[in-house]
Structure 1
Amino acid sequence: MSRMILIMGESGSGKTTSMRNLNPKTTFYIDCDKKGLSWKGWRKQYNKENGNYWASSNADAITQTLVKISAEKPQIKTIVIDTLNWVMIDDEFKRMKEKGYDKWQDLAFSVKEMVAMGQQLREDITVIFTAHTQTERDDSGFAFTRMKTSGKKLDKISIESMFTTVLLAKCVDGKYLFETQSNSSTAKSPMGAFEEKEIENDITKVIKALEEF
């Protein structure tokens, strides 16, 4: 069973930038947003020529690619899927003219299957998904932050429940951080994996901590 990490946060909270220290030789980057990465020099690190970069938001194609990487690319130790929301949006736009409940069932199934496949890869692979968040407030003003989804069917599945590690990316006083435990959010991590509830925004340190856990 592969290791799974979900990084969620608002746009500009540092989700993509947290991947800056990953080793391009052992990383495969799936750019679902198709907007490129967010640090200087990334094009030399991740590109088609290096065979470690692919821009796609098709859930079924990504699922098949995960299987292929696990079986045929033993050098790959980390796979990044950035972001889940564009996979949902892509599927939703393809079905804009469809009526009825079935299209939402199909969307939920394809996203769930893609995430589930991430759990079934080689044991030495870490799969990192990123996603946008939404914050909801009740009548008393209490705010709760969770992953943003498309459709009530995905809300019922609760994508976060498929991960043991869910990090909330945020910027506090100009400093980019990961929240590792729930603080009015769905953030969580294995007990004892991290000493602090807020840690540096660097996914390589997260992976190391989880490997040593």
Structure 2
Amino acid sequence: MSRMILVMGESGSGKTTSMRNLDPKSTFYIDCDKKGLSWKGWRKQYIPTEKDKQNGNYWASSNASAITQIMVKISAEKPQIKTIVIDTLNWVMIDDEFKRMKEKGYDKWQDLAFSVKEMVAMGQQLREDLTVIFTAHTQTERDDSGFAFTRMKTSGKKLDKISIESMFTTVLLAKCVDGKYLFETQSNNSTAKSPMGAFEEKEIKNDITKVIKALEEF
């Protein structure tokens, strides 16, 4: 069973930037947003697969079925890859939704929920030495009393019922506080969570490599 991490947060909260210290030699980056990465020099670190099918470690796609297939292939055929990043889950949902926007009825929402759930579920079933990191945008809801709660943003009520966060043991909320980029590791009016004892503090530095190192003990 592979290690699964969900990094969620608003746009600009540091989700992508938190991946800056990953070793490109052992990382495969799936850019669902197709916008490139957010630190200087990333183009030298991540080579598109269309330029180098054998050694490429960067692929831009938001197709759920294709992403599922490439994860399985990496697990089976690329032992040098230890980390797979899927950035972001929301564009996978939007891609499917836009392709079928003219369709009417309930079936398209069922199909969307199934494809996303299957992709995340496959991430759980890969090699034991693989860490699979999904990123996602968040939404904050407020009730009549003003209580605010932050969770992963989804497309359609079916995905809300599934609760994607429940498929992860580690959910980190990326945020910027007083100019500092941080990860919230435990719930503070959010769906953030982590294994008991993994982190001493509820807020830690925004660096996914330190998170992976801490989780290696679990």
TM-score (norm 1): 0.99
Please report the RMSD computed on the Cα atoms of aligned residues, expressed in angstroms: 1.0
- Alpha-carbon deviation of 1:171? 0.1
How far off its partner does 1:143 sit?
0.2
Task: For residue 161 of structure 1, report the CA deviation from its aligned partner.
Answer: 0.1
Q: Whole-Å Cα distance in 2 between the matches of residues 65 and 103 of structure 1?
A: 24
Unaligned runs of 5+ in 2: 47-51
Deviant stretches of 4+, over 6 Å: none
Between the aligned residues of both structures, percent identity stands at: 95
Cα distance per residue 1:49-73 (max 9 Å; x no partner): 8410000000000000010000000
Q: How do 1:60-209 residues align onto structure 2 when only pairs under 5 Å count?
A: 60-209=65-214
Tell me by how many angstroms 1:98 deviates. 0.5
1:90 & 1:18 partners in 2: Cα distance?
24
Deviations 1:67-106 (A, max 9, x none): 0000000000000000000000000000001000000000
* C-alpha distance in structure 1 between counterparts of 2:143 and 2:157, whole Å: 18
User: How big is each residue's C-alpha offset from its partner over 1:135-157, in whole Å with a ceiling of 9 and x where there is no partner?
Assistant: 00000000000000000000000
Cα distance between partner residues in 2 of 1:108 and 1:51? 30
Q: Which runs of 5+ in 1 are unaligned?
A: none
Instruction: Using structure 2 for the length normalisation, give the TM-score.
Output: 0.96
Say if 1:2 and 1:121, in contact at 8 Å, map to a contact too.
Answer: yes
Distance 1:185 1:176 in 2: 17
- Contact map agreement 1:84 1:130 (CA 8 A) in 2: yes
Contact 1:62 1:114 in 2 (8 A): yes
Residue-pair matches, total = 213
- CA–CA separation in structure 2 for the residues paired with 1:50 and 1:18: 23
In structure 2, what is the Cα distance between the partners aligned to 1:8 and 1:31? Answer: 15
Structure-2 separation of matches of 1:49 and 1:212: 32
- List per-residue Cα deviations over 1:106-149 (Å, max 9, x = no partner): 00000000000000000000000000000000000000000000
Aligned residues of 1:48 and 1:54 also touching (Cα < 8 A): no
